[in-house]
Structure 1
Amino acid sequence: MASSEAQTMLAVYAAKGDNDNPLAGLTVGQVPLPKVPEGWQRVKIEAATVNWHDIFTLKGVGMHKITFPIILGCEGVGTLEDGSRVVIYPVMISPGYIGDETKDEKRNVPSEIKDGTLAEYVAIPPANLLPLPKEIDSVSGSVLGIAWLTAYRMLFTKSGLRPGQTMLVQGSSGGVTTALIQLGVAAGMRVWATGRTAEKRKLSESLGVERMFESGETLPTQVDAVFDTSGTVTWKHSVASVKAGGTIVVCGGHGGFELPTDAFRLLVDQLSIHGVYAGTLDEFRDLISFVAAKKIKPCVGKVLPLSDGLEAFKSVHEGKTQGKVILTVGDVAV
């Protein structure tokens, strides 16, 4: 717990970066309370999510030069000093920037330049704080800023899909993939997905997937859009699985960032390929409204107290969870 006398708080932070052994720098311990820049607000965290972005930080890999030690965590839900509940929009932009936040060259999320959300308190610009509707609990709200916002932009902004069309999700248990499945089902798409294990495929079916396939399995028919979060290891199958005039949307490269593509097929079949990085503030507002209106309960694999940060990161790093891993502070309803 935070100590007002000592001015410290509990946090999960990266003490160093190690590409070969990322968990070597992971530390759970007391750190100073955050300094709040003029005009910013201090948020008392209730729930925050562990993302692969945090693993890359522990590897020493990021869009910006990382200064260690740094508190991890890109997203979360908490309360302000007046007691109002807020959800954090993670994409912070440079002063005076106007336009699509994801295209600001100086954009950053918590834990890249400033300390992140895996702590008892975090300092956030007020423009990045949105009210959390009463229909969304703190644990569910804590997953919306990274994986769910990315999935929302992939599906509703980039894919061009309409209700009734068929989409393939490459993967079935990760944060973005489960979000894509749940959003697609709620929007009236025919959702297909791949999964490496029977357990992962069963999870997808429980979320409403119409048809499940083993990873790399040839589909009975090509689909209108493919959503790829893995990169190299699934890319050939993604290209083969989309129909002429279809779309591939990619947001990650856990399986490698090299995407070898048959340019002849790309041209002749007029395929569209879109890359996605997070989403805009307006898209985040729309996502929150959609989740609340559709009464969607995001797939969560594990909820642990902040003090169990080491266990949480180990679960994510080893891929042993189905759905997001959440760390909570205090008594938070699950």
Structure 2
Amino acid sequence: MATMVATGADSAPTSSAPTSSAPTDMLAAVAVAADRTDPLAALEVRRVPRPVAPEHWSVVDVRAASLNQHDLWSLRGVGLAAELLPMVLGTDAAGVTADGRDVVVHGVIGATGHGVGPDERRSLLSERYPGTLAEQVAVPTWNLVDKPAELSFAEAACLPTAWLTAYRMLFVSAGLRPGDRVLVQGAGGGVSTAAVRLGAAAGLEVVVTSRDAGRRERALALGATHAVEPGGRLPFRVDAVLETVGQATWAHSMRAVRPGGVVVVAGATTGDQPGAELSRVFFTELRVVGATMGTKEDLEALLRFCVRSGVRPVIDSTVPLARVGEGLARLASGEQFGKVVVTMADA
């Protein structure tokens, strides 16, 4: 792991005009290269210019951010073009605007045209614009959602990617209702722990899979009704499967869902070339749909859900920005249970 603190002014954001009282640079976690076999070797924690907000954008003082598999994929060069390096990483954040507003950042840019115009294709922060693993981030003002007082900055920072994806998979893509049954493939990651907590709070019967007995027990403690080993026999066919694992679990997902049910796909951590199982798809009239994060309206609904239900994100560990490499190493190991949160020095 080659995490280092360096100085430099060659990252993507432009700097604001210097003042006598404010520093002109800030600390950030930056992808400086692409390394498919050792992604952490492509990471540097360095000084970069503070962002400037163009018209219809705002600068947010980040109080907390959270890590996602997207950050590791970016360090591998997946979805991050070489000509855009170096790039500040991160898609999730909660913080404070210049006028004192506590906000959560919705990290999808370009989906609505706000701040970038109607012709720009959708991207996530850290793909075309500098991300949230920094002391400040600039985003379209439209992308800011009020942070409820009931949630801490660390809790709120867990929501915009993994938890938003789980919310959309459960309630929008799958359209599940209280009493429905859902299989969550893989226990312990950010999306899966979110799906268990949200599903249980909404009255769903949630089944999870994991190779690790300890993780199965923890998933049951979070509200899952059943926990089985990968590929294990379920006590019933489910109405929906949430699939983020891919090749290793695909055949099991196809067998587990009832005729007419739905498999919602939001990732493929073990590979994206599963056996198609086409005969099962058409014979049992299954639906296979994709999900990527969610809309700003979904995020607002998720925040309200958390406030009303008392559900809070599961935080595995917290690291300061200067030691973000340790958090990414834990994420890469697959040993985390819940979200890894990054805090700023003044948070």
How would you bin the TM-score normalised by the shorter chain?
over 0.9
Is 1:78 paired with 2:104? no
Contact 2:63–2:96 (CA under 8 A) maintained in structure 1: yes
Q: Does 1:130 align with 2:145?
A: yes
**How far is the alpha carbon of 1:20 from its aligned partner?**
1.7
Question: Shift in Å at residue 32 of structure 1?
Answer: 1.4
1:152 and 2:152 are equivalent in the alignment: no
**Residues 61-120 of structure 1: CA deviation (Å, up to 9, x unaligned):** 1076661111100010000112110000111116747xxx9xx87111110111100010
2:51 to 34, 47, 62: 34
Distance 1:150 1:174 in 2: 12
Q: Give the match for residue 68 of structure 1.
A: 85
What CA distance in whole angstroms lies between the structure 2 residues aligned with 1:105 and 1:175?
29
Asked if structure 2 preserves the Cα contact closer than 8 Å seen for 1:66 and 1:113, the reply is no
- Give the C-alpha shift of residue 321 in structure 1: 1.0
Letter in 2 for 1:294: S
Q: Which runs of 5+ in 2 are unaligned?
A: 1-19
Q: Are residues 242 and 66 of structure 1, via their aligned partners in 2, closer, same or farther at CA, if it must alter by over 3 Å? A: farther
Q: TM-score, normalised by structure 2?
A: 0.90
Match of 1:15 among 32, 45, 48: 32
For 1:102-117, list aligned pairs within 5 A.
106-117=121-132
| SS, match of residue 124 in structure 2 | coil
Task: Give the C-alpha shift of residue 262 in structure 1.
Answer: 2.1
Show the counterpart of 2:217: 202
Paired position in structure 1 for 2:203? 188
1:1-334 matched pairs, under 5 angstroms:
6-62=23-79, 67-93=84-110, 96=113, 106-332=121-347
CA contact (8 A) 1:135 1:295 kept: no
State the secondary structure of the residue aligned to 1:233: coil
Q: Distance in 1 between matches of 2:253 and 2:82?
A: 33
Provide the aligned length of Structure 1 versus Structure 2: 326
User: Do 1:60 and 1:66's aligned partners in 2 also have CA atoms closer than 8 Å?
Assistant: no
Counterpart secondary structure, 1:232: coil
Deviations 1:144-191 (A, max 9, x none): 110011111100011122211211100110000011111100100011
Mean alpha-carbon deviation: is it higher for 5-14 or for 252-261?
5-14
Distance 1:87 1:105 in 2: 23
**CA-CA distance at 1:40 after TM superposition:** 1.1
1-side partners of 2:112 and 2:257: how far apart? Answer: 41
- Deviations for 1:17-49, whole angstroms, at most 9, x for unmatched residues? 111211111111211111322221110000001
Q: Deviations over 1:227-268 (max 9, x none)?
A: 111111110110011111111111001111113222222112
Matched residue type, 2:43? L
2:259 and 2:113 map into 1 onto residues whose CA distance is: 42
What is the RMSD of the two structures over their aligned residues, measured on CA atoms?
1.9
Of 280-289 and 63-72, the range deviating more from structure 2: 63-72
**TM-aligned CA deviation for residue 272 of structure 1:** 1.0
CA distance in 2, matches of 1:145, 1:192: 24
Aligned amino acid, residue 59 of structure 2: R
Identical positions, percent: 40
* Structure 1 runs, 4 residues or longer, greater than 6 Å off: none
Matched position secondary structure for 1:303? strand
